[in-house]
Amino acid sequence: MSDHTQKLIMHPEWRFITGLGGESVYETSISLHHIYGVPYISASSLKGLVRSWIILNKYENKEELAICDDSFIDLFGCPDQILKVKSDGKKEIFKSRYGGELGVSRKGNIVFFDTFPTKQQTIEADIMNPHYPKYYGGGNWPTDTQSPIPVLFLTVAKDTPFQFTFGYRKATEHTAFGNGEQMVQEIKKYLREALTQHGIGAKTAVGYGYMREQSLS
C-alpha cells in the first residue's frame, strides 16, 4: 500500500478518550476495534486531525486557501469545490486550484493507518457530573436544589503507548510538495505538533488526549 512508512510512538500525558459520543447502550461509549477489542484511533480521525492542524497553522484556518496550494493538495487531496456559510448565513463557493487548473478534484498521496496500543492497556473509569440535570433537560432554572447525576465513561489510562503509522502511496513520485520521503517527514512534524499541542479524542479542552513522544526501541 505504501513505498515508505513512518512510525511515531506517543502516549497520553493523562487520560485519553476515544469514541465518547458514539452510539452505545450506555449514555457514553468508547471506540473498540471490532476484531481485536482494544481501544484504537481510526485512520480517518488521524487524517482529519493533521489536516485541520495544518489548515489552522499554515493557512490562517481558511480551507479556501489550502485548496489553492499545490503542496497541500498533494498531501491530502481536495474536492473540486467547498461551500462556506458565513456568520450572516450567506453561502459562498470556493473552487480548488491545482497546477493552475481551476475546479479540479484530486486524491491525496499521504496514507494514514489505524492507530493501536503497543502493549496491554489499562482502562479507567471517569465521571461527568452535571449539577443541573433539570436545567439541561429544559424547563427549569439552574438552581442548587437539583441533585447532580454522575455519568460514568471509560478512558485509556496515562502512559499507554500508541503507534501512529503513515506513509505515501506507491504511485507518488515528484510532486509540487516534493518526493514521498519529504511528505512523510513533513507529516510527522505536524502530527507530533497536533498531538502534543492540540490533543486527540474527546474533552481536549479540559486536558484529555494530549500526547508526548516515546522513542522507538
What is the pLDDT, as a whole number, of residue 40? 93
Is a pLDDT exceeding 80 seen at residue 18?
yes
Is a pLDDT exceeding 90 seen at residue 193?
yes
Classify residue 6 by its DSSP letter.
Answer: E
Q: Greater confidence, 136 or 1?
A: 136
Query: Model confidence over 68-127: pLDDT tens digits?
Result: 999 899 899 999 999 988 888 889 999 999 888 999 898 888 999 999 999 988 889 999
Positive or negative torsion for Cα 11, 212, 5, 78: positive
Instruction: Sketch the domain layout of the chain as residue ranges.
Output: 2-214
What is the pLDDT, as a whole number, of residue 217? 47
Per the prediction, the chain carries an average pLDDT of 87
Query: Model confidence over 2-13: pLDDT tens digits?
Result: 557 889 999 999
Query: H or E element: which one contains 77?
Result: strand 77-78
Which of 95-132 are b and which e, b meaning 16 or more Cβ less than 10 Å from the residue's Cβ?
ebbbeeeeebebebbbbbbbbbbbeebeeeeeeeeeeb
Contact by Cβ (8 Å): 22, 183:
no
